[in-house]
Amino acid sequence: MKKILVIGAVIAVAIAIFYAFIYEKPGAMEEFGRSVDKSIEKIQHGDESTMEKAGRKTKEAIEGVGKEIKD
């Protein structure tokens, strides 16, 4: 039982160190770029539901792979 708690504590500390020192928060320009991308997507596709968006993204990904295979 103590072994499991020690392993869990070590994993928790490792995750905390990762987020404290290694993980980089997105900068101002990256956040701006994301907001521009979201705005463009909203203009192009209007108000679509989550399922419609997932379907569209899946279809676009499949088409992209198809184009890569042909080239």
Token pair for 18: 């990762």
User: For position 25, what pLDDT does the model report?
Assistant: 77
User: For position 4, what pLDDT does the model report?
Assistant: 82
Encode pLDDT of 47-66 as tens digits.
Answer: 888 899 899 889 999 999 98
* pTM higher than the cut 0.75: no
Encode pLDDT of 7-63 as tens digits.
Answer: 888 899 888 888 878 777 788 999 999 999 989 988 988 888 889 989 988 999 999
Decide: helix, strand or coil at residue 65: helix
Angstrom CA distances, 29 to 19, 35, 42, 55, 67, stand at: 21, 10, 20, 29, 31
Domain boundaries, given as residue ranges, for the chain: 2-70
